[in-house]
Structure 1
Amino acid sequence: MSLCKKLCGNNRDDLVITNIATKPPSHVAPDHDQSENEMDNDRNHVAWTSVRQEKWQGELHVQGEIPLWLNGTYLRNGPGLWHIADYNFRHLFDGYATLVRLHFHGGRLVMGHRQIESNAYMAAKKNNKLCYREFSEVPKPDNFLAYIGDLANLFSGASLTDNANTGVVKLGDGRVVCLTETIKGSIIIDPDTLDTVGKFEYSDNLGGLIHSAHPIVTDNEFLTLLPDLIKPGYLVVRMEPGTNERG
């Protein structure tokens, strides 16, 4: 006789477990005051701290020693400004792009940062309000006609942001490009001064509004994905150094 039969008997009904969980707790309405306090605490988190200056550079005080063999420049790109005038963004990915540069040489470290001068950032700075569709933010239309115009601009891509706050890559030909999911948000920068040089314009006829903001980049090629917005699927494209043509 098996151990199961010894413990449970010969009746298979004895093996059926009919009560495996405790009674569900009764619904408790959320404490709205507590939720608001939690939101305030989240807003005070260091991740929401905006840069204080549009541009800054200086040598950092180093605790310990930097190896003398460590020479070069490290670039990092991401959201760094989360407000326009008195309005605070609601999502971390909405922040306007801040390019950070760390330059190591001879045991010394010089750091700098600068806002990427995208059309979205420059328009917001000039008008003190959101002017382009960001990751989760949408500009408020002034009237119904403006709302209709915004819908048309959405389908054409004119109202989509070019806030290149997702990544930064160095192409095989030496050009440095900051990226986001919108194709129009491909922006060339100077890695030494952090100046915004201009838009990276693709010269092919592939079109599209969005692409992957996380391409594979080597000395010999640039690989990325173009999603199909009509039917499921992606187009894998390749670009060689020295060109702006994907194929």
Structure 2
Amino acid sequence: MARRRSRPRADWPAREWARDPPPRCPARSPTRHFPFLEGAFKPVTEELTAFDLPVTGRVPRELNGRYLRTGPNVLGLEDPRAHHWMLGDGMVHGVRLGEGRAEWYRNRWVRSSQVAKKLGEPYPGPVPPDDFPCNTHVIPHRGRILALQESGPLPYELDDELNTVGTYDFRGTLEGAFTAHTKFDVHAGELHAIAYYPTWDHVRHLVVDPAGRVSRSTRIPVTDAPMIHDFALTERYVIILDMPVTFDPAGAERGDIVPYVWNDRHPARIGVLPRKGGAVRWFEVDPVYYSHTLNAYEEGPNLVIDTTNFDAPFLVAGNGSGGPYGAGTPRLDRWTVDLRQGRVRVRTLDDRPQEFPRVNEGLVSRRHRYGYSAAAAEMAVAYQAVDGNPPPDRAFSNALIKHDLLRGTSQVHRLPRGAAASEAVFVPSDPCDPRAAEDDGYAIAYVHNPERGASDLVILAAQDFTGEPVARIHLPGRVPLGFHGSWIPDA
């Protein structure tokens, strides 16, 4: 079993979180609120295209490509009580940068069959099984742009201007579900995934080879059909996080929007699968639910896995535009799996509320020093317990965080009240320079600008993280708080 978490370092600036007095939580009243349809989460209603975007500061000339981020943006909602945030129609927001200019902004719904029908557009070809407008991640792969979703739907391919091309099955080699969170190993040229589906008695480790085909599919037996939202990869191992959030057949029979529940009877465990083949080795841990992995690597006989974790129980199925309730807010933890001793140690690296951890993508599966995460007051409020208890005062802050995991310190780029920050993606200044420092580059994120009532794309110099942004690109509309994205450099 995992050991008790150690206390966070005393020298970490936790008090920074409380410089602003927290907003007063509204008293409970008969009026029903739907936090994931309001404020920073409120869906936008139009697809926009704008060119030559205004900029405060200077766009680095070495940034030539597109920053894309997706998230749920429900279209044509009639009854908010019948909606769940995680199931909103996917919308991708993109900004193209080139030669020191912000060339364009676009936002487009992913044209699944149901979105095409709502928009009055034809859907080309037959409707695939489990069709859904993928809303969780958008990645580049072998010259394609793919919008991703877990637990059934095929990825959707987009063109360079975010128009939907159609579903994508890796040249006919993907059989069944894919994932929302892939891991690309730049050294091997492989794209890895862990796929799950509510009726399977297993999960699948999928490997997409450099030719863009699923070259290996390994079935890993599991019980109770767990929700495996993310996973981790090291140089020699695949890390499977099998936690006690599992499919609820009775809930599905009742028509629950998201039929997954906290299951006290399901053991929490970490699986270690050799990438070259072999049996999975399982390690039991204390029950938590992770939201995302930052990265993982090998250190002698140990596997080091950095994740954002929620305390138990984690309740997925909030009613009415719900999201993940009942577990408070996530923190940054480290699991260390000792393969020699057969045990797992867990330590809290930073107990401040934060989400969406990212790493320099060139170091996926290798040792990292730095990580980047986001904190949004609006997300902390929306994640509050279903009984209405407010989150702690220090949750009420908007910030981007850079972690130095070697020194055990962090830097906080504080944002104004109401400036809700999305996930920050690291972009290297020169990805082809083998001598470049790990943090030689930029952290970029969409941030709501409360003064304009619209969003900015904020570019921070990663080595001057607390300084003024290098550039603020002013978008013509708002980018709601959502999920994940990628920097796609020009070829």
Give the TM-score normalised by structure 2.
0.33
User: Could you list the runs of 4 or more consecutive aligned residues of structure 1 that deviate by over 6 angstroms after TM superposition?
Assistant: none
Q: Quote how far apart the aligned CAs of 1:194 are.
A: 1.1
Unaligned runs of 5+ in 2: 1-26, 122-127, 217-491
Asked if 1:163 is matched to 2:133, the reply is yes
Find the residue that maps to 1:185 and give its secondary structure: coil
Q: Whole-Å Cα distance in 2 between the matches of residues 235 and 165 of structure 1?
A: 21
Aligned pairs for 1:1-247 (under 5 A) are: 34-37=28-31, 39=33, 43-48=37-42, 50-80=43-73, 82-84=74-76, 86-88=78-80, 90-109=83-102, 110-126=104-120, 158=129, 160-171=130-141, 173-190=142-159, 192-202=160-170, 203-204=172-173, 207-208=175-176, 210-219=177-186, 220-227=189-196, 229-231=199-201, 233-247=202-216
**Counterpart for residue 419 of structure 2:** none
Q: Whole-Å Cα distance in 2 between the matches of residues 183 and 52 of structure 1?
A: 27
| Matched-pair contact (CA < 8 Å) for 1:58–1:112 | no
Sort the Cα spacing of 1:115 and 1:227 in 2 relative to 1 into closer, same or farther, 3 A. closer
Sort the Cα spacing of 1:239 and 1:42 in 2 relative to 1 into closer, same or farther, 3 A. closer
Sort the Cα spacing of 1:163 and 1:66 in 2 relative to 1 into closer, same or farther, 3 A. same
Unaligned runs of 5+ in 1: 1-32, 128-156
Q: State the Cα deviation string for residues 173-206 of structure 1 (Å, max 9, x = none).
A: 211111111443311111x2111111102423x7
Find the residue that maps to 2:57 and give its secondary structure: coil
Q: Whole-Å Cα distance in 2 between the matches of residues 182 and 42 of structure 1?
A: 22
Sort the Cα spacing of 1:41 and 1:237 in 2 relative to 1 into closer, same or farther, 3 A. closer
Q: Whole-Å Cα distance in 2 between the matches of residues 225 and 42 of structure 1?
A: 27
Q: Whole-Å Cα distance in 1 between the matches of residues 85 and 52 of structure 2?
A: 28
* Structure ranking higher on relative contact order (CA contacts 8 Å, 6+ apart): 2
Q: Quote how far apart the aligned CAs of 1:59 are.
A: 3.0
Aligned residue type for 1:121: V
Q: Whole-Å Cα distance in 2 between the matches of residues 40 and 201 of structure 1?
A: 36
Number of residue-to-residue matches in the alignment = 178
Q: State the Cα deviation string for residues 148-173 of structure 1 (Å, max 9, x = none).
A: xxxxxxxxx84x342111111111x2
| Matched-pair contact (CA < 8 Å) for 1:170–1:217 | no
**Counterpart for residue 136 of structure 1:** none
Q: Whole-Å Cα distance in 1 between the matches of residues 150 and 192 of structure 2?
A: 14
Q: Quote how far apart the aligned CAs of 1:38 are.
A: 5.7
| Structure ranking higher in strand proportion | 2
Q: Quote how far apart the aligned CAs of 1:237 are.
A: 1.5
Sort the Cα spacing of 1:221 and 1:41 in 2 relative to 1 into closer, same or farther, 3 A. closer
Rg comparison, structure with higher value? 1
Find the residue that maps to 1:181 and give its secondary structure: coil
Find the residue that maps to 1:123 and give its secondary structure: helix
Q: State the Cα deviation string for residues 71-126 of structure 1 (Å, max 9, x = none).
A: 2211111112x241644463222221111111112322122111111112113334
